[in-house]
Amino acid sequence: MLVLPMALIALYSITRHGNSIISFSLTLEHYVKFFTDPDFLTVLTRSLWIAFKTTVICLILGYPIAYYISRSREKMQGILLMCITIPTWINMLVRTYAWIGIMSEGGILSTILSFFGLGDFELLYTETAVLIGMVYNFLPFMILQINTSLCKMDHSLLEASADLGATPVRTFTRVTFPLSLPGVISGINLVFLPAVSSFFIPKLLGGGQYFLIGNLIENQFITVGEWNFGSAISMIMAVIMMLMMMAVNKIETRNAGGKEE
């Protein structure tokens, strides 16, 4: 059940259009088409680039928030975590629509900005809008992952570090941060992967002008009807993501300190 759709996609990606399930001819033309068309490659790099930016912003915003939560009192921790978790219970699509209201012309944001004489500027349907939408949607995953690894940390390690002469800043760079890396890495995975392939955030907030790989795939399946080409793009994305994860895991294991034998 889990493998079948995946296998079908893999099969579709290497067969010609119009084949029936019973008789088909193999081809690599979809892959060749993707890698030779500069337009498609632009979409791919754009997708990877915006996902990268989303991840970096989520990390920069998320780490301090997660750190603050992990250092607050137990009761406060629960409340703060609730505040971060509850929005994720509401459908992502609905929340993204809400951002249209905030960012549109004459919306809340431009009204506030106009108070400061920043005038009425167009935010919706720009790359910034897409970025804001992505960061907003994926930030909680980053925070929760990092917070978990910070909370799991043995407090006596921090005392030991201070005891050995490390200032609070040193303790952070040498103990706290390295030990929170597993959380950071799974946070990166959880933000980057869905960000690369997201299609409705760019569609809603980018207004069709901002075309990402997710939109491309959606287009091939729903609008164009090129299932085989769509499958090929999906396969390419799957391989890229797999490589990403392998690279990230490698960093993680290299971090383990000493030989385990």
Partner 1 sequence: MENTKIIEFRNIVKSFDGQIVLKGVNLDIYENEFVTLLGPSGCGKTTLLRILGGFLEADEGSVVFDGVDINHLPPYQRELNTVFQKYALFPHLSVYENIAFGLKIKKMSKDIIDQKVMKMLKLIGLEGYENKNTAVLSGGQQQRVAIARALVNEPKVLLLDEPLAALDLKLRKEMQYELKRIQQEVGITFIFVTHDQEEALTMSDKIVVMKNGEIQQVGTPEEIYNEPANEFVANFIGESNILPGVMLDDYKVRFDDIDFDCVDFGFKKNEAVDVVIRPEDIDIVPVPDGKMTGEVLSVLFKGVHYEIIVETVPGTSVTVNMNVIRNQDVVSADGKEKISATNFYVDIEDVPNLDDKEIIARSNAMAWDTETDDYVSIAKIEYDIKAELGAYSVIFTTAKGTSIERVITVVNQPFVKNEKANEAVMAFNFTKTVDEIQESQALDTDIKTWASAQGWKLSDESQSIDIAVDYDFDPDDVKEGVYKIVFSTTGREFKIHTTDYSEVGQEVGLTFFPEDIHVMSRVVF
Residues that bind partner 1 (CB under 8 A): 154, 156-157, 159-167, 170, 174-175, 178-179, 181, 255-261
Indicate the DSSP class of residue 74: H
Closer to partner 1 at the Cβ: 17 or 174?
Answer: 174
| Least distance in angstroms from the C-beta of 184 to partner 1 | 13
| Least distance in angstroms from the C-beta of 183 to partner 1 | 13
Give the C-alpha separation, 195 to 131, whole Å. Answer: 10
Give the C-alpha separation, 53 to 137, whole Å. Answer: 14
Q: CB-side exposure of 234: number of CA atoms within 13 Å?
A: 22
In 3D space, the residue among 44, 50, 71, 41 whose CA is nearest the CA of residue 153 turns out to be: 71
| Least distance in angstroms from the C-beta of 173 to partner 1 | 11
Tell how far CA 10 is from the center of its chain: 24
| Least distance in angstroms from the C-beta of 41 to partner 1 | 39
Q: Which amino acid is at 246?
A: M
Give the C-alpha separation, 238 to 235, whole Å. Answer: 5
In 3D space, the residue among 50, 204, 206 whose CA is nearest the CA of residue 122 turns out to be: 206
Closer to partner 1 at the Cβ: 5 or 258?
Answer: 258
In 3D space, the residue among 239, 196, 185 whose CA is nearest the CA of residue 48 turns out to be: 196
Strand, coil or helix: what is 26? strand
| Least distance in angstroms from the C-beta of 160 to partner 1 | 4
Give strand pairing partners of 172.
Answer: none
| Least distance in angstroms from the C-beta of 80 to partner 1 | 24
Closer to partner 1 at the Cβ: 73 or 259?
Answer: 259
Closer to partner 1 at the Cβ: 178 or 208?
Answer: 178
Closer to partner 1 at the Cβ: 37 or 159?
Answer: 159
**How many Cβ atoms from other residues are within 10 Å of residue 227's Cβ?**
16
